[in-house]
Amino acid sequence: MYEYITGLVTIVTPQYVVVEAGGVGYQLLVANPYRYQVDETQRVRIYVYQAVRDDSITLFGFVDQAEKRLFLQLINVSGIGPKSALAILANPDHQGLIDAIANNNVGYLTKFPGIGKKTASQIVLDLKDKIADQATGSLLTADQSATATANPALDDALAALSALGYREREIKKIKKELLEAEATTTDEYLRLALRLIN
């Protein structure tokens, strides 16, 4: 399973982009191909979901992990396939989508192509509880939303703590000390965080 591909965008079409990495051109179906530009000098990182069927293997691409996470939540809804999920994500207002789900706004969801009232209601039913904590102006996970900072190295360390099983309140307790620390790398922040927690 691929997590992401880093390479050069060599082709942009209305349906997909091609990213060349290691001499291989990967065709990625993306929500908005024109978000990318053909540039033989600028490497990009595109997060990937691989869909395997009896007759095909398809790669779906995402600008960041948050978009990929939202896509994965959508395709778990009955009646929403990968292409329908991409069509929904083509609207750049992902926060509006999250807020609509959290607030039972079925009318907003029916504006997307191929989404009728029944499917919109199913989206709300299946995802409301899962994304409730994201309806606060951030596409981060609930744990990350509570602890996010403007420091990527620290954010990664906090996310690692969450992945290790530490609770949100434990992470919140040490966040202030970590913000004031002189650490510069994720590893340094993580080591300090583990010392503080333990």
| pLDDT given for residue 146 in this prediction | 43
pLDDT in tens, 94-116: 888 988 998 899 999 998 888 89
- Percent of the chain past pLDDT 70, that is, above it, reads 90
**Residue with token string 């929403």:** 80
Q: Which range, of 33-37, 70-74, 185-189, averages the lowest pLDDT?
A: 185-189
Domain boundaries, the chain: 4-62, 65-134, 142-197
pLDDT at 149 over 70: no
Across 157-180, average pLDDT: 82
* E-assigned strand segments in 24-129: 24-30, 43-52, 57-62
Instruction: Please give the single-letter amino acid code of residue 122.
Output: Q
> 128 in helix, strand or coil?
helix
CB contact set of 196 (below 8 Å; sequence gap of 6+): 174, 177, 178
Which tokens belong to 78? Answer: 């009955």
pTM, full prediction: 0.66
Look up residue 35 and give its DSSP letter: G
The torsion angles phi and psi of 126, rounded to 5 degrees, stand at -80, -30
Does the domain formed by 4-62 have CATH 2.40.50.140?
yes
Domains 4-62 and 65-134 fall in the same CATH topology? no
CATH topology of domain 65-134: DNA polymerase; domain 1 (1.10.150)
pLDDT reading at 92 higher than 50? yes
DSSP assignments along 158-189, one per residue: HHHHHHTT--HHHHHHHHHHHHHS---SHHHH
Cβ–Cβ under 8 Å, residues 163 and 144:
no
- Encode burial over 147-164: b for 16+ CB neighbours within 10 A, e otherwise: bbeebebbbbbbbbbbee
